[in-house]
Amino acid sequence: MFAKMSQDAKLLINLFLPFFFIHCTMHVYLIYASLLQNYKFSPEATGWILGIYYLAAMVMRPLGGWLLENFGIRRSLIWSGMLSFIGCSLLFFRQSAALLFVGRAISGASFSVYTTGLFSYQALCVPEKTRGAMLSLLVVGGVLSMTTVTPLGEWFLLTSQDTLYLALGPAISALCCFLGARVGVAEAEETRHGETSWGSYSELLSSRAFLFLVLTGTLISIADAIVVNISLLATEKGLVASYFLSSGAVAAVAVRLAGSALLNTLPRVVLLAPCGIFMSCSTILVSFFPSGGVFIVGGILFGIGIGAGWPMFHALIADLLNPVLRPKGTATALLLYDGGFFITPIIVGYLLPHFGTSWTFIAIGLATGGALALLGVFYWLPRYRKSLLI
């Protein structure tokens, strides 16, 4: 029993550290919109510079799955970490919109490959009986970055230390290369041994449940992606974006730590959509009643939703698919999740000049919350207690 626990702990650490730091390379730029605003970029240009990161991540998901299958997990992590370093370094060329655009695209593509590798690794190596708890603890790392590097980056910007802020991304990316080289892939290779071939995309897309899962995940991602623009609402109202981001991160960590064991037993198919509804309600709340206290409360509500919803979403990918389909399934699900992060900043950029920040956020919250409620009532609830494995 002790040996088994030690093996699980080692696997968790091998996943947790790179997961934490690669998310630092993303979350350090959650307040990047305010810096672009200081550079006098238009709302539309800001939306495209922010959104191209997620478009590149989305486009790279299928290729990321192919790279993992053909070049292995460790090499894919090392090379994607190197690309992240290059992409983040290009953001120093602050006067060139083209270089900022390219840098964000490279960073998004590298983040996509890196995270796909980590999630594929856990899908291959983590036993089903501990998958919910392991994922819940793992993705704590992705949220902790919002309580560390995001406030640090915002402090650099508020104190006019833009160069130090821009140096965070390349420095963390270099660390990701080192951690990627240390990921133990023996378990994954052992799991793959004896399989004649990976499943096809036609097999993957023939699963009706998987298609509804990625639709639900895409709507949740739109509700999630509003954090990319939260600094615009905070600046407009004279507030600090970290009130929302940090309180949300703390709430998400608390949910994942306190409820990690419950995720192995709770009906994930029923609870996924309500998690997204919590996030949508948070957006509506902070837009109607913007204040420091409401930002904290809204962040907590948002954190509860993403804290439970993110590990449920990834656990369901593995629940719904046979092992031979999991690399492609992970890549496809994350591709569409990234799609929400791509379109949301652009939608905000084009709606904001016409409707203002608050009403733009409210409209997105109402649309995502309503759609998720319909999916929950008319698809996921009737499916409850049916077999998940196809």
CA distance 132 to 118: 16
User: How far, in Å, CA of 76 to CA of 110, rounded?
Assistant: 9
Does residue 182 carry a pLDDT above 90? Answer: no
User: Could you tell me where the DSSP H helices lie in the chain?
Assistant: 2-27, 32-38, 43-71, 73-89, 97-125, 131-138, 140-158, 162-182, 186-192, 201-205, 208-225, 230-237, 241-258, 268-288, 292-320, 326-375, 381-383
Q: Is the pLDDT of residue 374 over 90?
A: yes
pLDDT for res 166: 94
Gap between the Cα atoms of 15 and 12, Å rounded: 5
Find the mean pLDDT for residues 321-345: 82
Residue 230 near residue 150, CB atoms below 8 Å: no
Residue 3 lies in a domain: no
Instruction: Confirm whether 93 is domain-assigned.
Output: yes
Which pLDDT score, from 0 to 100, does residue 112 have? 87
Q: Which of 6-20, 157-171, 296-310 has the lowest mean pLDDT?
A: 6-20
Task: Please check whether residue 375 is in contact with residue 219, taking contact to mean a CB–CB distance below 8 angstroms.
Answer: yes
Q: Give the span between the Cα atoms of 164 and 167, in whole angstroms.
A: 5
The answer, yes or no, to whether residue 190 has pLDDT greater than 50, is: no
What average pLDDT does the structure give for the chain?
A: 83
In angstroms, the first-to-last Cα distance of the chain is 31
Distance CA 358, CA 284 (A): 8
**Least confident range of 46-55, 76-85, 258-267, 329-338:** 258-267
Q: Give the tokens for residue 157.
A: 């910007």
Q: Which residue has the higher pLDDT, 88 or 197?
A: 88
pLDDT exceeds 90 at position 280: yes
Contact 340, 219 (CB under 8 A): yes
Q: Domain for residue 147, yes or no?
A: yes
Residue 300 is assigned to a structural domain of this protein? yes
Mean pLDDT of 337-364: 90
Q: How far is CA 321 from the centre of its chain?
A: 21
Percent over 90 (pLDDT), the chain: 34
Q: Looking at the domain assignment, is residue 366 inside a domain?
A: yes
What is the structure's pLDDT at 34? 85
Q: Phi first, then psi: what are they for 178, rounded to 5°? A: -60, -45
pLDDT surpassing 70 at residue 70:
yes
Whole-number Å distance between alpha carbons of 323 and 330: 11
In a domain, 7, yes or no: no
**pLDDT higher than 50, residue 2:** no
Q: Map residue 271 onto helix, strand or coil.
A: helix
What are 206-263's pLDDT values in tens digits? Answer: 888 888 889 999 999 999 998 888 888 898 888 888 899 989 989 988 887 776 666 6
**pLDDT tier, 192 (very low <50, low <70, confident <90, very high otherwise):** very low
Q: What 8-state DSSP symbol labels residue 226?
A: G
The pLDDT of residue 191 is 42
**Is the per-residue pLDDT at 189 higher than 50?**
no
> Residue 261: its pLDDT value, please?
62
What b-and-e string marks burial along 36-52, b requiring 16 or more CB atoms within 10 Å of the CB?
beeeebebebbbbbbbb
Please state the domain count of the chain. Answer: 1
Range(s) of the domain holding residue 236:
12-192+202-383
The percent of residues in the chain predicted with pLDDT above 70, rounded, is 86
**Would you place residue 328 in the very low, low, confident or very high pLDDT band (cuts 50, 70, 90)?**
confident
- pLDDT score recorded for residue 240: 87
Among residues 60, 84, 337, the alpha carbon closest in space to that of 225 is found at 337
Using alpha carbons, select from 183, 179, 149, 141 the residue that is nearest to residue 166. Answer: 149
Whether 243 contacts 154, CB under 8 Å: no
Which residue in this structure is represented by tokens 């979403």?
313
At residue 141, the pLDDT reads: 79
CB-CB neighbours of 370 under 10 Å: 13
Nearest to 384 by CA among 266, 259, 262: 266
pLDDT tier for residue 390 given thresholds of 50, 70 and 90: very low
| Separation of alpha carbons 373 and 39, rounded Å | 40
Q: What is the 3-state secondary structure (H, E, C) of 89-123?
A: HHHHCCCCHHHHHHHHHHHHHHHHHHHHHHHHHHH
| Selected residue with higher pLDDT from 324 and 115 | 115
Does residue 62 fall inside a structural domain?
yes
The predicted model gives 97-114 an average pLDDT of 93
The answer to whether position 388 is within a domain reads no
For residues 199 and 253, the answer to whether their CB atoms sit within 8 Å is no
Q: pLDDT digits over 215-224, tens only? A: 999 999 999 9
CATH of the domain at 170: 1.20.1250.20
Measured in degrees and rounded to the nearest 5, phi and psi for residue 183 equal -65, 130
C-alpha angle 333-389-369 in degrees, rounded to nearest 5: 45
pLDDT of 201: 81
Work out the pLDDT band at 186, boundaries 50, 70, 90: very low
* Residue bearing the bigger pLDDT, 210 or 130: 210
